[in-house]
Amino acid sequence: MRNKPLRKLLTPLAVALAVAFGALLPGASQAQGTPASAAASALSTTAHPVIDTNFLYHELYYSSTKFITRIAGADGPPASPSDANNLPPNYNGANEFYAWWKKEITDTSQDHMGPMGRFLTVKDHFEPCCRGTGNQTFPFQLNDATVTIPGQSCPAEDVLISGHNDSTPTSTSVANGAASGSPAPASGMHVGNWGNGSPFDADSGIAMGMAELQGLLRWYQANGTYPARTIKVGLFDAEETGLVGSGEYSQADTPTTLTSAAAAGDTTLNVGSSNGIAPGSAILIDQFGKHESATVASTGTGTVTLTSGLASGYPAGTQVTRTALGLIPDGPQGQYVMVANMDQNGIEYPAYHWGTQHYLNNITGGGVGPWFTNINAVPLSPNNQYPSTSDGWARIQHNMSAEVAFRNALGTAVQQAFQVLGQKYNYSITLENPLRLDQTGSTPLDPEPPTVPAYTASDRQAFSPVVDDNLGRTDQVSFINRGIPGYGIVGAFDSSTNPGVGGNENPYPASYTSKPTLNQYAGYDTSDDTIQHLNYWASGTTHGPGGVDQPSEELRRALELPATWTDYLIQQDAYAGSQARTGNPIAYFETGPAKPTTTNKVTFDASFSRTAGGTANGLKYFWDFGDGTTLATTNPSVTHTFASTSPHWYDVKLAVSDGNGMSSYRQALAVEFQPTLFPATPDPSEPAPPATSPCGTLSAQQQAAITPQARTLMARLNGGTATVYGAKS
């Protein structure tokens, strides 16, 4: 059963209905002379999260004008910003962008994340980069950065907001001149999206994720509540080169096995399936306790050829997997209940094509509708992206009850956002482009921007429907293939007339006999992807009336709407939820590596833990590693080596004390092997995971047992002692 919040909060729909029927919310009174809309706005801030569009656009504008091209794996080692290979931001701003994002998203000032930002922890996750083609080079690591606020009652279940941060790779010749101090590239400007910050694809999604987290944190702060589940915001590196960062983050390998014995020195392995094993990738030959890694030279039907011979021999039935990186543990804890992927946004509903119903050369009377928003959700039936024969579809089916519930919850959130924002804006939007060359030559009929209806139920069904993901080119795919409920939001995709991949975004009048396609007419992934053009496509103006750094109103609305329904979804009880703060510390840890498949040495990081005030000051940590070893320490990070190298599950428990209250967290960890993931059948000798709560909580009996142990060891800590052991196996 899902944990219910301790304090019942009004839903956005309740607020919208109360306003619509002139009702006041229970316990509220309307001040004399205060407009009903103002009173409703004040009340709604505690009923649901509110998106700060000024903050959202400021972050979008800043990142789009400061960090130019961001090519994954090509801006010096991300772990060493001072390295000489780290290019200046006017050549490649990848590393500088990461530093800015981490600073902004953990800023606790009121105009950023506010007091709840003290509970946030930012982490870098470095992994090998992608292989380029042609003259593209990727010599450095990728960075899938995350910021985390651990949940209170169910911290082991995660909600992820994500977006990708890289620009389209360019030819290496574009950077010629950087060493000599040339201020900007002199050639190759139109190869990829060089020379701009890619505000549409995909700075808009990054800024939306930041504003969504801000809206949630402000909502919790206003209500005196806290998320029940863990919320993460992540940056996926190298999306442009093939969903690489999200694929590494969510890695869900289905192991195969040797179909015949392999001898030492063999370079060809006979396997049950070579699906998903790519040339150049690393694989693991794992006999449960005896294993080695090898590099793949090529694959065939039922065969894998290695670049060098095996060091040892292995019998038939030995497990063969990709080398397990990834950030999602293989055990019962650390699993994801939903993923919301923000991709390219702003050229979407309720904004109109170039801010007008008259599409550029359309002089036949107007009538061109608003942009279409792609809400690409986990499919409920197989399609070309998730074929009926694929492991991804098998996992979706296996989790179908949760997938259906997610689709229903998402539909409700979209409906609520339309209702609440419709009420906020009087169910209308002003078209900002005043030009109307309407059957009269070059003389505008009426220079006044018209106001048209918006946020209606018919518009929602026509321009923002929740559809099965059949696009297949954005990062939610990596998670949906794992069976995790998720969706991605994409504005103008291309000029396709196929509704299955984004609606009919080719806005010629029906009377036109010829409708030529307009390939990438929205300007993403090209050197036209600038903040001025993003405003222009959404409104017909290059910026708002307040100046070049201000948004047009239609762009502001187009960013606000999907960010709003994302927060409405996340706030629901089944996802992040909300509950009254207990006043006890927040206990939570993650491991490095997240999947210790080939090592018995693991780092346990409890730096996510916080006092009730959101600090780590004075915290003490007690560890039970599940192998007979316990210790207490004042250091949030410890490294433990398990004595055995045999495959084993360890039920690792953490207790955190602030001197008054104590909280606990646990995670069942698979060490020295990779558990077989559905739909593959586990090897009979594979250890079974222990029976533990998916939320990472301890039973009352377990809590009663661990508390005196923790207090005894913690009492032995003093100013000169960082760690004391209780028992060591």
**pLDDT averaged over every residue in the chain:** 84
Q: The tokens of 48 are what?
A: 């649901």
Domain shared by 461 and 565, yes or no: yes
> CA nearest 370: which of 432, 413, 423, 412?
432
Domain shared by 360 and 432, yes or no: yes
Rounded CA-CA distance 525/198 in Å is 7
* pLDDT above 70 for 83: yes
Q: The tokens of 423 are what?
A: 């009420």
Domain shared by 265 and 340, yes or no: no
Domain shared by 481 and 542, yes or no: yes
Q: Is the peptide bond before 538 cis (omega within 30 degrees of 0)?
A: no
Q: The tokens of 689 are what?
A: 């995971």
In a domain, 499, yes or no: yes
Domain shared by 549 and 651, yes or no: no
Q: To 10 degrees, what angle do helices 553-570 and 204-223 make?
A: 50
Rounded CA-CA distance 645/648 in Å is 8
Size of the chain in residues: 729
Do 575 and 402 form a contact (C-beta atoms < 8 A)?
A: no
Domain shared by 165 and 214, yes or no: yes
* pLDDT above 50 for 7: no
Rounded CA-CA distance 24/633 in Å is 53
For 591, the 3-state DSSP assignment is: strand
For 605, the enclosing helix (H) or strand (E) is strand 601-605
For 111, the enclosing helix (H) or strand (E) is none
In a domain, 236, yes or no: yes
Task: Specify the higher pLDDT residue, 439 or 417.
Answer: 417
For 226, the 3-state DSSP assignment is: strand
Phi/psi at 688 (5° precision): -90, 140
In a domain, 576, yes or no: no
Task: Specify the higher pLDDT residue, 489 or 686.
Answer: 489
Looking at residue 703, its pLDDT comes to 93
- CATH code assigned at 645: 2.60.40.10
* pLDDT above 90 for 417: yes
Q: What is the DSSP string of 197-254?
A: --IIIIIHHHHHHHHHHHHHHHHHHHHTEE-SEEEEEEEETT-TTTSHHHHHHT----
Q: What single letter denotes the amino acid at residue 361?
A: N
Q: The tokens of 373 are what?
A: 């928003």
In a domain, 32, yes or no: no
> CA nearest 63: which of 36, 24, 30, 102?
102
Q: Which domain holds residue 89?
A: 53-247+331-570
> CA nearest 348: which of 555, 646, 147?
555
Cβ-based burial of 721 (10 A; exposed 0-12, middle 13-18, buried ≥19): exposed
Looking at residue 261, its pLDDT comes to 95
405-419, 438-452, 647-661: least confidently modelled range: 438-452
Q: The tokens of 335 are what?
A: 């699993």
Looking at residue 11, its pLDDT comes to 36
> CA nearest 577: which of 293, 263, 231?
231
Strand 229-236 versus strand 154-164 pairing type:
parallel
Q: What pTM was estimated for this model as a whole?
A: 0.87
Phi/psi at 652 (5° precision): -90, 130
Cβ-based burial of 171 (10 A; exposed 0-12, middle 13-18, buried ≥19): middle
In a domain, 564, yes or no: yes
pLDDT tens string 578-602: 999 999 999 999 999 999 987 899 9
Q: The tokens of 359 are what?
A: 């599409």
Domain shared by 528 and 593, yes or no: no
Task: Specify the higher pLDDT residue, 213 or 721.
Answer: 213
Q: How many CB atoms lie within 10 A of CB 47?
A: 23
Confidence of residue 139 (pLDDT cuts 50, 70, 90): confident
In a domain, 13, yes or no: no
Q: The tokens of 458 are what?
A: 């018919």
Confidence of residue 266 (pLDDT cuts 50, 70, 90): very high
Q: Which residues of 687-703 are buried (b: 16+ CB within 10 A; e: fewer)?
A: bebeebeebbbbeeebe
Give how many domains the chain has, as a whole number. 3
Looking at residue 431, its pLDDT comes to 93
pLDDT tens string 302-343: 899 999 999 999 999 888 877 667 899 999 999 999 999 999
Looking at residue 133, its pLDDT comes to 42
Task: Specify the higher pLDDT residue, 97 or 175.
Answer: 97
- CATH code assigned at 113: 3.40.630.10
Domain shared by 288 and 362, yes or no: no
Do 479 and 250 form a contact (C-beta atoms < 8 A)?
A: yes
- Cβ-based neighbours of 471, under 8 Å, separated by 6 or more: 374, 376, 385, 488, 490, 493, 501, 502
Rounded CA-CA distance 458/506 in Å is 20
Q: For the chain, how big is the Rg over CA atoms in Å?
A: 27
* pLDDT above 60 for 401: yes
Residue where a domain stops, chosen among 524, 544, 570:
570
Residue where a domain stops, chosen among 291, 322, 353:
322
Q: What share of the chain is helix, strand, coil (3-state, %, to 5)?
A: 25, 20, 55
For 189, the 3-state DSSP assignment is: coil
45-49, 61-65, 263-267, 423-427: least confidently modelled range: 45-49
Do 111 and 67 form a contact (C-beta atoms < 8 A)?
A: no
Domain shared by 555 and 645, yes or no: no
Domain shared by 501 and 535, yes or no: yes
Domain shared by 599 and 544, yes or no: no
Looking at residue 21, its pLDDT comes to 28
* pLDDT above 90 for 651: yes
C-alpha angle 372/453/360, rounded to 5°?
55
Looking at residue 681, its pLDDT comes to 82
Q: Is the peptide bond before 453 cis (omega within 30 degrees of 0)?
A: no
* pLDDT above 60 for 150: yes
Phi/psi at 259 (5° precision): -90, -10
Residue where a domain stops, chosen among 278, 301, 322:
322
Looking at residue 248, its pLDDT comes to 87
In a domain, 68, yes or no: yes
Q: To 10 degrees, what angle do helices 400-424 and 12-20 make?
A: 30
* pLDDT above 90 for 209: yes
Rounded CA-CA distance 580/223 in Å is 8
Domain shared by 318 and 431, yes or no: no
Cβ-based burial of 29 (10 A; exposed 0-12, middle 13-18, buried ≥19): exposed
* pLDDT above 60 for 16: no
As a whole-number percent, the residues of the chain with pLDDT over 70 amount to: 80
Which position has the token pair 């950023």?
112
Confidence of residue 674 (pLDDT cuts 50, 70, 90): confident
In a domain, 344, yes or no: yes
Mean pLDDT of 213-242: 95
C-alpha angle 461/462/468, rounded to 5°?
70
